[in-house]
Structure 1
Amino acid sequence: MTIAPSHDPYVATGRPQPDAKLTISRPTGTKPVRVMYVISDLSIGGAEMMLYKLLAETDRTRFEPAVVSLMDGGALRERIEALGIAVHTVGVRPAWPTPLDLWRLVRLTRRLRPRLIVGWMYHSCLAVQLASFFSSRLATVLWSIHYSISALAEEKWLTGAVIKACAFLSGLPDKIIFVSRDGQTKHRPLGFSTENSCVIPNGIDVNTFAPSPEAWASVRSELGLPSGTLIIGMMSRYHPMKDHANFLRAAALVAKTHPETHFLLVGRAVDSSNQELRRLIHELGLAHRTHLLGERHDVPRLTAALDIFSLSSYCESFPTVIGEAMACAVPCVVTDVGDAAWIVGDTGRIVPPRDPVALARAWAEMIKLGAERRAALGRTALSRVSELFPIKSVVHHYETLYETVLAGRMPESAAPVVAYQRD
């Protein structure tokens, strides 16, 4: 079991450095910069929620965002539109995008006339780069990559082909944003250019995700559990890399020595209709102590109700759910994937991926600490995440990057004045 040292979250090949403040003074009367974000779809997931948080905190006096969903709108469409931000769809079929889909994106880009185009994840990065070749107006193109790939062989063939194409074209965007240091490092051997890249981690909304004794009590009441029941939980969509089987096998081991413990799983397709999950739960004898809640809109409340948060994945980049649990003052036991160890620091436990014995042992150690010592770890976790990953600070870095990149593309007479100042 390893504990990660603390590091500053902002790692970039360019500026600003962590101890430097970038100030950009814009000419008076300047219109907000039109930014077009392109994303595959708006279903609820870590990368999609990060885009939503970025949009919600964007300074609308400086930026005018619009969102393009390549497929359907998804569950987040209404929430984004409620921010007063237009959402457009292209109508791409998931299995087989066509040249006609690309042409629709080109036409939409020409109509919206953005100054800045941001591709959000692989498929969208490739789409915006190709569309930029045919757009009548030259726009600045950025890629935002939210994945820390382990092996191309483990990807679907279409995703693998898209990643290879992105690697080939990676010298073309004005900047590539990775959300994790691990992701930046692992993309180099794949042929990605990282000379034009930087790292901006995902941000945590420490106001929405916060400690809540009321949630702790109400969730147990909702589940029909005694008030003192210890709950270990994970918030994650159902996907092979999330390794729910690892979580459940560890749960079976812990249940043998701590039979009062219950396990809570939340996320898309993590519900009673998931036959594969139900089969494994019954095989492991966990049917009466495992709660599958599916996709929920009260995730902050559910997170705050946990005694221990866990991540069982074998592949991640910057798993925001860890930071959200820490913001709720919930101690974490996570697998050593992506930047998970960096996020947790010395406020939790780190175990190897695909090792349910190690995961169960770490849970048992947390249980043995007792409620008071777990609460102390949780308070330390809250302090760490509030200092390193607050959403407002992360959004500031995005906005500063946008203006810095645009300043390099603008005619000198129209460019904002860029100055670095030491605090």
Structure 2
Amino acid sequence: MPENAMAARLNKPKESGPRVLTVVHLITGLSGGGAERMLARIATYAYGPDAPRQIVISLMDEGIYGLAFRSAGIELHCLNMRNGLSFFPALLRLAAILRSLKPSVLMTWLYHADLVGTLAAVIAGMSMRRVIWNVRCADMNLTHYAFTTRMATALLARLSRFPASVAVNSKAGQRAHTKMGYRPKKWIYLPNGFDLDVWRPDEGDREAVRSELKLADDILTVAMIARVDPQKDHGTFLAAARQLVLRHHNLQFVLIGKGTEALELPELAAGRIIALGERHDVHRLLRGLDIVVLSSMTEGFPNVIGEAMASALPCIVTDVGESAELVAETGIVTPAKDPDALAEAIANMASESFSVRESRGAQARERIQANFSIDRIANLYRVTWLSIAESAVRLQLPEQ
């Protein structure tokens, strides 16, 4: 059914008033991860006159995105679920919120939200035909994570046939979760999207950032932007940096992300690595950089690479998840957990002329604009919500 027809049926007046497309997003927390960033883009996107009503619920606190949601007029609830003792009160409160809101769609983000959201929907008497799980990762080595995460994923695999659909942001994520035992009614592909007005090059910002970081004009910056997490494998990046500082005196390495300021740096390379920790101006910092690297052992669809590409920067990625497909011919792909190969890739890109790297960056931005603009992806989300809501009410509304 065409999108406008679905919207018309969904918004058809009833005795109790017009039915508005209402989407509740439930997420584990609102810290600085990729899922949180994507949720912020989708929830605050300007959908136009037929914009859905969107409500965000965090199982924990408002993190770094609470202010952005409130400023955009997005209703925000925080359940402050911090430990086992707060689980049942938070679950019952969530069920009460769902019962009160009667959302057209409940979209859950990340494993714990998938599980808690499913339980709350059942308690609230909400049809599972209105529930979508939004899976944001691929091949995770769960041995690096808490027992509760391992237990949640095992239970979710068994429950995966109940929601209306399971969305993934990468085909690698679908393959990985199929191996884990997920058997949903339907898979939906919802890749990440990027606002090219935010993620863009800017010469003025480039000069300002390089001045702040005390970088000379002839210095080439190689950055990794990721929180400290086993799957990001900062060790491989640092090992590659250790090799390169001995041979390339114009390279400066930059680490950005929560926990990077506390990483133990290789002794020989310590003076050539800047660790900035968690920053909320990454879009601006990218404008002062030259090459972006992601040495992950596992990925779904890496937000940071899309952001770097939109900022017209060439990227080097490991061959995990959707990374290689994302950069395509604009970047360089290396095997995971291989510092020698990563060092060689960085050296090769650093040895390219400025015009070649600039061309790589321009092609990278064009690739994001053509395939992953926020306008394109936000519309995919909206069509998905309309489809789920229409399916759920098909038997309740009379035919047009």
Please indicate the TM-score interval, normalised by the length of the shorter structure. over 0.9
Contact 1:26 1:416 in 2 (8 A): no
How high is the sequence identity, in percent, across the aligned residues? 32
Query: 1:194, CA displacement in angstroms?
Result: 4.1
How far apart, CA to CA, are the structure 2 residues paired with 1:102 and 1:412?
30
Query: 1:64, CA displacement in angstroms?
Result: 0.5
Query: 1:150, CA displacement in angstroms?
Result: 3.5
Query: 1:355 is matched with which residue?
Result: 338
Query: 1:23, CA displacement in angstroms?
Result: 5.1
How far apart, CA to CA, are the structure 2 residues paired with 1:95 and 1:355?
39
Query: 1:284, CA displacement in angstroms?
Result: 3.4
Query: 2:178 is matched with which residue?
Result: 188
Q: Please give the secondary structure, in 1, of the residue aligned with 2:81.
A: coil
Q: Please give the secondary structure, in 1, of the residue aligned with 2:353.
A: helix
How far apart, CA to CA, are the structure 2 residues paired with 1:94 and 1:73?
16
Supply the AA of the counterpart residue of 2:82: R
**Structure 1 residues 415 and 340 mapped into 2: Cα distance closer, same or farther (>3 Å)?**
farther
Aligned match for 2:296, one of 313, 319, 325: 313
1:329-340 equivalences under 5 Å are 329-340=312-323
How far apart, CA to CA, are the structure 2 residues paired with 1:63 and 1:152?
36
Supply the AA of the counterpart residue of 2:59: L
1:80 and 2:63 are equivalent in the alignment: no
Query: 2:115 is matched with which residue?
Result: 126
CA offset digits 1:353-407 (Å, max 9, x no partner): 1111100100001011121110011111111111111111011011101111111
Query: 1:10 is matched with which residue?
Result: none
Runs of at least 4 residues of structure 1 off by over 4 A?
28-31, 94-97
How far apart, CA to CA, are the structure 2 residues paired with 1:90 and 1:32?
25
Query: 1:225 is matched with which residue?
Result: 215
**Structure 1 residues 25 and 381 mapped into 2: Cα distance closer, same or farther (>3 Å)?**
same
Query: 1:102 is matched with which residue?
Result: 91
Q: Please give the secondary structure, in 2, of the residue aligned with 1:258.
A: coil
Contact 2:163 2:184 in 1 (8 A): no
Comparing 357-366 and 106-115, the one that deviates more? 106-115
Query: 2:225 is matched with which residue?
Result: 235
1:221-370 equivalences under 5 Å are 221-271=211-261, 274=262, 277=263, 279=264, 281=265, 283-370=266-353
How far apart, CA to CA, are the structure 1 residues paired with 2:58 and 2:363?
38
**Structure 1 residues 169 and 328 mapped into 2: Cα distance closer, same or farther (>3 Å)?**
same
**Structure 1 residues 25 and 34 mapped into 2: Cα distance closer, same or farther (>3 Å)?**
closer
How far apart, CA to CA, are the structure 1 residues paired with 2:5 and 2:164?
19
Higher helix residue share: 2
CA offset digits 1:172-223 (Å, max 9, x no partner): 0001101110000111121101441111111111110001222221111001
How far apart, CA to CA, are the structure 2 residues paired with 1:148 and 1:253?
30
Unaligned runs of 5+ in 2: none
Query: 1:6 is matched with which residue?
Result: none
Contact 1:331 1:378 in 2 (8 A): yes
CA offset digits 1:106-147 (Å, max 9, x no partner): 122222222211111110011111111111444611100101
Supply the AA of the counterpart residue of 1:53: R
CA offset digits 1:43-75 (Å, max 9, x no partner): 111110000000111526341111111011111
Comparing 93-102 and 77-86, the one that deviates more? 93-102
How far apart, CA to CA, are the structure 1 residues paired with 2:44 and 2:149?
29
1:56 and 2:44 are equivalent in the alignment: yes
How far apart, CA to CA, are the structure 2 residues paired with 1:183 and 1:136?
30
How far apart, CA to CA, are the structure 1 residues paired with 2:85 and 2:205?
43
CA offset digits 1:211-258 (Å, max 9, x no partner): 122222111100112123110002111111111111111111111111
Query: 2:133 is matched with which residue?
Result: 143
How far apart, CA to CA, are the structure 1 residues paired with 2:290 and 2:179?
39
**Structure 1 residues 415 and 71 mapped into 2: Cα distance closer, same or farther (>3 Å)?**
farther
Contact 2:140 2:231 in 1 (8 A): no
**Structure 1 residues 58 and 168 mapped into 2: Cα distance closer, same or farther (>3 Å)?**
farther
Query: 1:103, CA displacement in angstroms?
Result: 1.5
How far apart, CA to CA, are the structure 2 residues paired with 1:322 and 1:98?
35
Q: Higher RCO, 1 or 2 (CA under 8 Å, sep at least 6)?
A: 1
How far apart, CA to CA, are the structure 2 residues paired with 1:82 and 1:304?
26
How far apart, CA to CA, are the structure 2 residues paired with 1:415 and 1:388?
38
How far apart, CA to CA, are the structure 2 residues paired with 1:87 and 1:401?
22
1:172 and 2:162 are equivalent in the alignment: yes
How far apart, CA to CA, are the structure 2 residues paired with 1:194 and 1:109?
23
Query: 1:26 is matched with which residue?
Result: 7
Aligned match for 2:105, one of 116, 126, 137: 116
Query: 1:36 is matched with which residue?
Result: 24
Query: 1:155, CA displacement in angstroms?
Result: 3.0
Aligned match for 1:386, one of 369, 375, 378: 369
How far apart, CA to CA, are the structure 2 residues paired with 1:25 and 1:136?
24
Supply the AA of the counterpart residue of 1:71: M
Query: 1:416, CA displacement in angstroms?
Result: 9.1
Q: How high is the TM-score relative to the length of structure 1?
A: 0.88
**Structure 1 residues 413 and 160 mapped into 2: Cα distance closer, same or farther (>3 Å)?**
closer
Query: 2:198 is matched with which residue?
Result: 208
Aligned residues: 391
Unaligned runs of 5+ in 1: 1-15, 418-423
Comparing 58-67 and 406-415, the one that deviates more? 406-415
Aligned match for 2:189, one of 173, 176, 199: 199
Query: 1:11 is matched with which residue?
Result: none
CA offset digits 1:318-358 (Å, max 9, x no partner): 10110111111100001111100111011010001111110
Query: 1:373 is matched with which residue?
Result: 356
How far apart, CA to CA, are the structure 2 residues paired with 1:227 and 1:81?
41
How far apart, CA to CA, are the structure 2 residues paired with 1:96 and 1:177?
31
How far apart, CA to CA, are the structure 1 residues paired with 2:286 and 2:78?
32
